[in-house]
Amino acid sequence: MKTKAINAAEFFAGIGLVRTALEPLGVRVVWANDIKRAKFDAYYANYPDAEDHFKVDDICDINGQSLPSGIELATSSFPCIDLSHAGNRLGLVGKQSGMFWQFARVIKELPNKPRVVLLENVYGFATSHGGRDLTDALQCLNDLGYSLDVLAIDARHFVPQSRPRMFIIGIIKEELPKNAHVGVPEVSDVRPAWVTKIHEAHHENINMHYLDLPDLPDGPTNLSAVVEHNVPSGAWWDEQRVKAFVDSLSDVQKARFESLRVADALSCRTAYRRTRQGVSMWELRRDAIAGCLRTTGGGSSKQALVELGGGREPRIRWMTPREYANLMGARDYKLVAGTPNQQLFGFGDAVVVDVVRWIGEHYLIPVLRPDNEPGDE
């Protein structure tokens, strides 16, 4: 028996990794939006039907009345630049992260609100303007009729990348499942202490709930499963550039580099640039996974791969778009649209497929299809 498909709207869709995560679970994207044409091109290359439902437009110019009817799930990975600790911290008054209010406006304009909304952003959302921005967002969603839950998940539980993100899940108040709890949840790996404090601070004034969730998996501890081993030899930096890399390291970083260089085993590490006291320096990660992928544009945004040990000379190169795709859980994603930098940008601005799929399997689908409602796919 087939299960009735869940019609979804994908706000700030980017290159479509929310769809990549949820489509195998029975979610059918019937409307998507992003302002950047390059992201649509990548999305379309992987999902040709996007030509019929993907709107390349500023969300400020979108009216909820124009969306198709019957949307049960709305996802929103709205811009993080004004909320991130690496950004300007303007919060929800910022031009980019302030697009949250436009998402809420469109939801309000829909004749029938989605039964569930899923929002994703950086941990900095919780502390922006002393927590006031998050409070305002929760209150706004509450006023739209949603009871709310907050999760915090680092993608390192699924892929070799440290990528901590918070998720807000809203369920229409009248449709809360019977197994939903009210009050303050216990501390767990998906709800660390700072998340339970959010519930504690708001559950008496805002409709909040939580569902019991399984523990997160341990996740990989190295980059072996994501590294490309057949890159062109010209991708590796020349001797002069490698020397410049080493010369830029601090004493602590040089000691780490040297320890790995003389080790019997070959290892891969990621490195990124940091500006310390006005000087650009390279830093090697302590662990063997990648740092958080970011949109390309300078500073620490672009990561390098460093091979050390095993009796070989050190080798360094930029990480490739395919490696970025692998780190985002998008191993089968077609890299046929855009320039390499546009591809890196698209993945740096996306969600990790495995994380969203885990949320889908353990939260969204049980809420939206608790009894596997039969119907057409």
Same domain? 57 vs 153: yes
**Residue 287 in domain:** yes
**Residue 339 in domain:** no
Q: What is the pLDDT of residue 376?
A: 46
Q: Average model confidence (pLDDT) for the chain?
A: 92
Q: Say what percent of the chain tops pLDDT 90.
A: 83
Distance CA 331, CA 353 (A): 10
Q: What is the pLDDT of residue 298?
A: 46
Burial 3-19 (b: 16+ CB within 10 A, else e): bbbbbbbbbbbbbbbbb
Number of domains in the chain: 2
Same domain? 21 vs 119: yes
**Residue 108 in domain:** yes
Q: Which residue among 319, 335, 359 closes a domain?
A: 319
| pLDDT of 56 strictly over 80 | yes
Distance CA 358, CA 355 (A): 5
Same domain? 213 vs 272: no
Greater model confidence, 289 or 296: 289
Q: Which residue among 299, 319, 339 closes a domain?
A: 319
Closest Cα partner for 156 from 291, 343, 286?
291
Which domain does 239 fall in, by range? 233-319
The percent of the chain in helix, strand and coil, each rounded to the nearest 5, is 35, 20, 45
Residue 299 — very low, low, confident or very high, per pLDDT cuts 50/70/90? Answer: very low
Same domain? 25 vs 54: yes
Closest Cα partner for 169 from 137, 130, 192, 193?
137
Q: What is the pLDDT of residue 274?
A: 84
Distance CA 59, CA 9 (A): 13
**Residue 62 in domain:** yes
Residue 279 — very low, low, confident or very high, per pLDDT cuts 50/70/90? Answer: confident
Q: What is the pLDDT of residue 374?
A: 45
**Residue 284 in domain:** yes
Distances (CA, A) of 37 to 33, 34, 106, 130, 266: 10, 8, 21, 35, 41
| pLDDT of 2 strictly over 80 | no
Over the stretch 230-262, which tens digit does the pLDDT of each residue have? 999 999 999 999 999 999 999 999 999 999 999
Over the stretch 187-212, which tens digit does the pLDDT of each residue have? 999 999 999 999 999 999 999 999 99
Same domain? 152 vs 286: no
Same domain? 72 vs 206: yes
Same domain? 154 vs 103: yes
Q: What is the pLDDT of residue 91?
A: 72
**Residue 94 in domain:** yes
Distance CA 304, CA 317 (A): 6
Same domain? 247 vs 203: no
Same domain? 204 vs 260: no
Q: Say what percent of the chain tops pLDDT 70.
A: 93
In sign, the C-alpha dihedral spanning 365, 152, 115, 70 is negative
Same domain? 150 vs 176: yes
CB 323 within 8 A of CB 281: no
CATH number for the domain harbouring residue 111: 3.40.50.150
Q: In the predicted model, what is the mean pLDDT of residues 318-338?
A: 96
Q: In the predicted model, what is the mean pLDDT of residues 311-332?
A: 96
**Residue 26 in domain:** yes
| pLDDT of 375 strictly over 70 | no
**Residue 340 in domain:** no
What's the predicted TM-score (pTM) here? 0.94
Residue 84 — very low, low, confident or very high, per pLDDT cuts 50/70/90? Answer: low
Same domain? 86 vs 201: yes
Q: Which residue among 280, 302, 319 closes a domain?
A: 319
Same domain? 214 vs 237: no
Q: In the predicted model, what is the mean pLDDT of residues 160-186?
A: 96
